[in-house]
Structure formats: structure tokens, C-alpha cells
């Protein structure tokens, strides 16, 4: 079977070794002669999975016991509501940076919970840059940012220093580069873009950030309830959490975040260098804010898109059509995507220029 070069923006590519281990577990999990899909989530075997899935997050982020890790369903979209529900006090204010579709949706949910202020936005230029030079209010309950924007292809290269709790949606670039996780009060991520399959969401939160809202909490929306229940207050998304654990173990065993950050830099440099060199392509975002996870670009001759589409399809490339809000193309360079696949795409881009420029 011919290799497919998978640039899907999400659900994204997973390591081949992880897919093999996960498929084996679907048939016979840990030699129980039972499928992972049919054992109790309260069994000792699965409790061990959950414990390790939580602990490896803290290990990779290099944080201490002042943080808790939970896995939930509902995707990052549920976290858009849970974050303000758990952190925004009844008489307080939440501050947000608006850098794209997902932060816009997060802001919408926060406004339902309480007073919400957008302190800066790049909407004026269709989110093709990251705002800079803004002031963070010192009296807000928290400041929310999105580290990487899958649709528009921008990424925060550094994070603001603030005296108030910093909250970050890292759904699409979590564990792709070194960050000082201790600077954040809460980090959340839908697993399906860079950490595992669709179906689970990881939340890592400082203990001292919770229990300050002054509201009576609904159990299913209360982080403290899920922490006390060990991510199993209700039946968790068993299989997605297991595959997330396998993916994080793959990352750790191969050299960790320092190892993958170097490879991700090589992939991004390879593709962006070709976008800038090639007369038939142009990037869509401010150069200093280009995402290392989602490279967005257009053809300079839109009438030739059908020809380029045929060429990359013939090369067994998948998932590079751009989002409708940007158009053109988007190549997602998540951790599991090998440099080889980027080289194949670059070769197609060069061949396209040689044929049509």
C-alpha cells in the first residue's frame, strides 16, 4: 500500500507505532483476552492507564504537585465555557486576546458567564497576525490566549508575563515546543490535533486557581469534582485517553519535547522556505507570526489550483486544502508528521513551478 502523506488539520496524523499498539489493544488489552473497548473503566488495568495519562502530562510539562491534570469529553469547545465558569467570579472580569475563530468562540461563551473584555484582536486583518503591545488589566480574574490558530496559521512565539492567572488553549501546538508551563494557571487542549485522537480533552490547572468564583457549581462543569473523581466522575472517553497516553509515551521515548521541537523547526523551515522562494505561492500570515503547526498559503495564479490539486493528489498527499475562511492550502505539520512528507510536498511545489511558471 502506497504511503499517504497526511497533512490533515484535525483529527491529525498519529504515529504508526501508536496506531499498531492501539489496534492490538482493541483486540486483546494487556493479555486479558478482552478488548480495551469492553473492559470496565473502574478496573485496575484502566485505572493504571488513567493514572499514567495524567502523570505523563506533568512530567512533560515539568510541573509539580501544585497542578492537577484531568481528562474530559466535549473538546476544547466545552472548555470555552468551563474556564470562565470555574475562574470568573460573579463580580469579576475576564480578559481575552482574540486571534481567530476559536478564541472568538471562547469569548462568546465567557460573555454568557460574566463580564468579559477583549483587550486586543487581529480580526481587522482576518486574523493574519498576533496582536502585540497590548496592556493586560491587573484586576481581571484571568487572561485567556490561544497559542496556535489552526485556521489562519498564526502562532504566539512568546507568552505574556502577567500578574493575573494566565489561561491558554494549546489544542493545536501542545508538546510541539518547549514552554514554561509554570507560567500558566490553566492549560487545556483537545487531543485530536497534536496529542491523540478525537474524543478527549486535557486540562492542567493550578490548584490555587479554583474555588474562588462565589457561585454554586454544577457538578459536571466543576473542575474540582473531576479532580476529586480522578477524571472518572462519569465514564471517561476510555479509548481516546489510552491512545493519547501511547502518543505521549512515543514522544517521551524518542527524546521528548526538545527532540520534537528540533524536527518541527526543520519541517517548518523546509516548507516556508519553499513558499517564499516559489513564484507560484505566497504565505497568508505575518512572517514573524507564522505557525510551525499549520502553514497557510495561496497560489499566485488561482486559475492553476486544479492543476496543483492533481499533482499533490498524484503524490499521495492528503488534507492540505485550506479552510474556507482563508482559502488556498494549509499543511499541518503536527508532531507525528515526518520530515519526509514535507519534502514530498516541497518537491511537488517545485515541479508545479517548473511546469507552469
pLDDT digit of tens for each residue in the chain (357 aa)? 568 999 999 999 999 999 999 999 999 999 999 999 999 999 999 999 999 999 999 999 999 999 999 999 999 999 999 999 999 999 999 999 999 999 999 999 999 999 999 999 999 999 999 999 999 999 999 999 999 999 999 999 999 999 999 999 999 999 999 999 999 999 999 999 999 999 999 999 999 999 999 999 999 999 999 999 999 999 999 999 999 999 999 999 999 999 999 999 999 999 999 999 999 999 999 999 999 999 999 999 999 999 999 999 999 999 999 998 899 999 999 999 999 999 999 999 999 999 998
Burial zone of 235 (CB within 10 Å; 0-12 exposed, 13-18 middle, 19+ buried): exposed
Specify whether domain 16-253 bears CATH 3.40.640.10: yes
Which DSSP state fits 150? T
Write out the residue limits of the CATH 3.40.640.10 domain(s) in the chain: 16-253
Burial zone of 341 (CB within 10 Å; 0-12 exposed, 13-18 middle, 19+ buried): buried
> What pLDDT, on a 0 to 100 scale, did the predictor assign at position 176?
98
Among the CATH numbers 3.50.50.60, 3.40.50.300, 3.90.1150.10, 3.40.1410.10, which is that of 256-356?
3.90.1150.10
Query: What distance in Å separates the CA atoms of residue 69 and residue 53, rounded to the nearest whole number?
Result: 9
> What pLDDT, on a 0 to 100 scale, did the predictor assign at position 48?
97
Provide the annotated active-site residues: 102, 169, 193
Write out the residue limits of the CATH 3.90.1150.10 domain(s) in the chain: 256-356
> What pLDDT, on a 0 to 100 scale, did the predictor assign at position 325?
87
Contact 244, 202 (CB under 8 A): yes
Query: What distance in Å separates the CA atoms of residue 108 and residue 62, rounded to the nearest whole number?
Result: 32
- What pTM value is reported for the model? 0.97
Query: What distance in Å separates the CA atoms of residue 185 and residue 143, rounded to the nearest whole number?
Result: 10
Which DSSP state fits 321? B
Contact 115, 158 (CB under 8 A): no
> What pLDDT, on a 0 to 100 scale, did the predictor assign at position 3?
84
> What pLDDT, on a 0 to 100 scale, did the predictor assign at position 109?
98
The residues, ordered by sequence, that sit 6+ positions from 191 with a Cβ below 8 Å of its Cβ are 197, 198, 199, 200, 201, 202, 240, 244
Cβ count within 10 A of residue 277: 12
- Give me the residue label for grid cell 515539568: 62
The residues, ordered by sequence, that sit 6+ positions from 314 with a Cβ below 8 Å of its Cβ are none
Amino acid at each position: 500500500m502506497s504511503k499517504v502523506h497526511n497533512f490533515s488539520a484535525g483529527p491529525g496524523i498519529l504515529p504508526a507505532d501508536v496506531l499498531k499498539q492501539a489496534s492490538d489493544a482493541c483486540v486483546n488489552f494487556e493479555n486479558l483476552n478482552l478488548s480495551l473497548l469492553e473492559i470496565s473503566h473502574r478496573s485496575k488495568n484502566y485505572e493504571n492507564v488513567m493514572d499514567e495519562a495524567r502523570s505523563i502530562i506533568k512530567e512533560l510539562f515539568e510541573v509539580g504537585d501544585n497542578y492537577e491534570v484531568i481528562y474530559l469529553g466535549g473538546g476544547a469547545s466545552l472548555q470555552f465555557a468551563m474556564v470562565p465558569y470555574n475562574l470568573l467570579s460573579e463580580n469579576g472580569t475576564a480578559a481575552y486576546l482574540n486571534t481567530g475563530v476559536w478564541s472568538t468562540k471562547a469569548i462568546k461563551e465567557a460573555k454568557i458567564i460574566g463580564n468579559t473584555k477583549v483587550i486586543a484582536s487581529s480580526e481587522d486583518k482576518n486574523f493574519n497576525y498576533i496582536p502585540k503591545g497590548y496592556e493586560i488589566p491587573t484586576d481581571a480574574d484571568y487572561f485567556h490566549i490561544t497559542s496556535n490558530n489552526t485556521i489562519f496559521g498564526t502562532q504566539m512565539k512568546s507568552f505574556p508575563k502577567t500578574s493575573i492567572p494566565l489561561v491558554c488553549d494549546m489544542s493545536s501546538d501542545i508538546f510541539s515546543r518547549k514552554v514554561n508551563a509554570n507560567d500558566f494557571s490553566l492549560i487545556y487542549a483537545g487531543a485530536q490535533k497534536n496529542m491523540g485522537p478525537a474524543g478527549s480533552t486535557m486540562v492542567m490547572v493550578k490548584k490555587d486557581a479554583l474555588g474562588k468564583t462565589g457561585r454554586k457549581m454544577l457538578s459536571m462543569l466543576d473542575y474540582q469534582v473531576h479532580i476529586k473523581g480522578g477524571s472518572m466522575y462519569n465514564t471517561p472517553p476510555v479509548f481516546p485517553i489510552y491512545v493519547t497516553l501511547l502518543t505521549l509515551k512515543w514522544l517521551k521515548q524518542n527524546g521528548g519535547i526538545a527532540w520534537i521541537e528540533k524536527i518541527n523547526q526543520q519541517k517548518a523551515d523546509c516548507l516556508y522556505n519553499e513558499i517564499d522562494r516559489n513564484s507560484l505561492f505566497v504565505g497568508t500570515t505575518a512572517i514573524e507570526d507564522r505557525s510551525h503547526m499549520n502553514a497557510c498559503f495561496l497560489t499566485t495564479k488561482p486559475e492553476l489550483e486544479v492543476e496543483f490539486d492533481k499533482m499533490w493528489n498524484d503524490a499521495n498527499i492528503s488534507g492540505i486544502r485550506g479552510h474556507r475562511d482563508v482559502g488556498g492550502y494549509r499543511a499541518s505539520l503536527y508532531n507525528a508528521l515526518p520530515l519526509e512528507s514535507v519534502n514530498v510536498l516541497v518537491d511537488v511545489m517545485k515541479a508545479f513551478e517548473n511546469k507552469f511558471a
